[in-house]
Amino acid sequence: MSSSSGLLANELKCSVCMDVFTDPVSTPCGHNFCKSCLNQCWDNSQNCYCSFCKETFKVVQPFQKKFSLSKSEVLCDICDERRHKALKSCLLCQASYCKTHLDLHQRVLSLKKHKLMDPVENMKDYICQKHERPLELFCRDDQTYVCVFCTDGDHKTHNTVPLEEESKEKKTQKDVQQMIQDKNKKIQDIIYFTELGKKSTEREKAASAELFSDLMRSIERCLADLLEMMEEKQKAAVKQVIQELQQEITELKMRNTELDHLLHTEDHLQLLQIDPSLCSPPHTRNWPEISMDTDVSVETLRRALTQLQETLDQKLSQTVKSISNTALLRRMQQYAVDVTLDPDTVHPILILSNDGKQVRHGDIEHGVPDYPERFDKCASVLGKEGFLSGRFYFEVQLKGKAGWNLGVARESINRKGKIRVSPQNGFWVLGLWNENEYWACTDVLLSLRMKPQKVGFFVDYEEGLVSFYDVESRSHIYSFTAQSFTIRICPYVCPFSNDTGKNSAPLIISPVNYNE
């Protein structure tokens, strides 16, 4: 009898706290634990595993799944025809409401006392099964959600706090941990890409310098041979010599043009493998075969050589700059995100594609609900996706457009009436007016060498940086620096009016092509 009692006592003990089970739960492998003990083990680990036999498995804690609030797919329970997105859910009414139908809960005194929360789908999961009351409290001792009546029973002496307080504390702790991870990752990124960029730049610069040095040495040898033979040659051959020099210079320029083209169309790290002919000096004349008179101006030839040297040095500088811009753009593209335009914010005169990737001016306003988030004067639209931290990048195709405004904006911007795009008003925008006038937030006039056909937008939330890039030419256009972001940032798109067909093309959110 004593032995059986001992075995029974052991069966009723948790292998983590070595005490009798409190709110026991079982793992898929069949072992039992206190719910709070198992929760603590899993909170401190990236994997879910049995603390007794160490078997690893994928398990989502029931209460975590139950109380993960998401409002993206929850619709209003009161709307008749087109059901709008729910803004809040009421625990007492057991229903979710859009902004319009939530009005009674904000005006009627008795309804103001109801418990509102972020919208959820299964309201019964937020009701205490024992007391049929809303789960408004969190028991920190048992790590579970309870109602008010539970605090008079099993949880009477436990440490219980309002659900909002617990959620806020956990969110703050999570945000701090995420911030630390982001900062450490940023430091590692800076160290890695600094070293990588330094090695790549030095390697490419050395290869380019060697290539141009070979070209210069070849010409210098020809010139030296030419000067040695000047006293024995006839004056009639002067023009021929100069023509030959000019022809070689022209060939060098053509080769540099080809090099420049390759740098803009191929991966610069594979350039020498793609076109090995660029590594060898050009063919030159056998200058001793040409006769000249001593009256030839040596200074004229020396000036031609000096000019060629300056041209090659300039081309080398442009090559290194092009390589640097390419590496920088590809670094930005690593943070590409999928942007979709939000139909609830689009101005009634704009036409949005079904997939939310294209928008154009329609000339005629459509009958749509006047949501608070919808633009009513400025023909604009925001992206569905918003960002509260980190870095993100997206690209917009501008082909055929004579005017537009593009960039990012605070989620809290004013969307009613006339709008002036400026950082003070929550806009960081690049714009094209009158087909060839480029501006940054209406204040800074930009001078661009070529008309961008696709623009990339990069944002570093913590650094307060918004940068614009010409994707095809891999060149930087403009940056807003040292900005202060404290709330959600969203993509912002304004296609401007049709202008009698001159600006009818759509603005297109295009996928990032890493091989461009």
The answer to whether residue 256 is domain-embedded is yes
**Max CA-CA distance within the chain?**
129
Domain extent, residue 480, equals: 350-510
Distance CA 113, CA 280 (A): 84
Q: Taking residues 342-352, report their average pLDDT.
A: 96
Do 369 and 494 lie in a common domain? yes
- Residue 388: the pLDDT is 95
DSSP code, position 291: -
Do 355 and 478 lie in a common domain? yes
The answer to whether residue 121 is domain-embedded is no
Number of domains forming the structure of the chain: 3
Do 365 and 482 lie in a common domain? yes
Q: Which helix (H) or strand (E) holds 397?
A: strand 391-397
- Residue 322: the pLDDT is 63
**Range of lowest pLDDT (59-63, 89-93, 96-100, 108-112):** 59-63
Q: 290 versus 425: which is more confidently predicted?
A: 425
The answer to whether residue 20 is domain-embedded is yes
Place of tokens 């989620």: 411
CATH number where 472 lies: 2.60.120.920
Q: 168 versus 367: which is more confidently predicted?
A: 367
Distance CA 508, CA 474 (A): 19
The answer to whether residue 276 is domain-embedded is yes
- Residue 437: the pLDDT is 94
Do 372 and 485 lie in a common domain? yes
Q: Taking residues 385-393, report their average pLDDT.
A: 94
The answer to whether residue 266 is domain-embedded is yes
Distance CA 197, CA 204 (A): 10
pLDDT tens-digit readout, 240-284:
666 776 676 777 667 666 656 655 544 443 443 344 444 444 454
Domain end call among 306, 333, 360: 333
- Name the band, by pLDDT with cuts 50, 70 and 90, for residue 324: low
pLDDT tens-digit readout, 440-472:
997 899 999 899 999 999 999 999 999 999 999
Do 213 and 294 lie in a common domain? yes
Domain end call among 268, 300, 333: 333
Q: What pTM was estimated for this model as a whole?
A: 0.44
Mean pLDDT, the chain, as a whole number?
Answer: 78
Q: 432 versus 314: which is more confidently predicted?
A: 432
CATH number where 54 lies: 3.30.40.10
Selection from 317, 418, 408, 336 nearest residue 376 by Cα: 418
Q: Is the pLDDT of residue 504 over 70?
A: yes
- Give the angle 246-250-251 at the CA atoms, nearest 5°: 120
Do 354 and 491 lie in a common domain? yes
Residue 86, C-beta contacts closer than 8 angstroms, at least 6 positions apart: 71, 74, 75, 76, 77, 96, 97, 98, 119
Q: Taking residues 12-32, report their average pLDDT.
A: 76
- Please state, for a pLDDT cut of 70, what percent of the chain lies above it: 69
Do 273 and 408 lie in a common domain? no
Do 275 and 419 lie in a common domain? no
Q: Is the pLDDT of residue 393 over 80?
A: yes
The answer to whether residue 485 is domain-embedded is yes
Do 476 and 362 lie in a common domain? yes
The answer to whether residue 241 is domain-embedded is yes
Q: Which long-range contacts (CB under 8 A, 24 or more apart) does 479-487 make?
A: 480/423, 480/428, 480/440, 480/441, 483/423, 483/428, 485/410, 485/461, 487/388, 487/410, 487/411, 487/412
The answer to whether residue 500 is domain-embedded is yes
Selection from 136, 142, 140, 127 nearest residue 163 by Cα: 136
* Amino acid present at 252: L
Do 221 and 327 lie in a common domain? yes
Distance CA 471, CA 408 (A): 18
DSSP code, position 387: B
Do 480 and 386 lie in a common domain? yes
Contact at 8 Å (CB) between 339 and 383? yes
**Token pair of 108, please?**
């009627």
Do 403 and 324 lie in a common domain? no
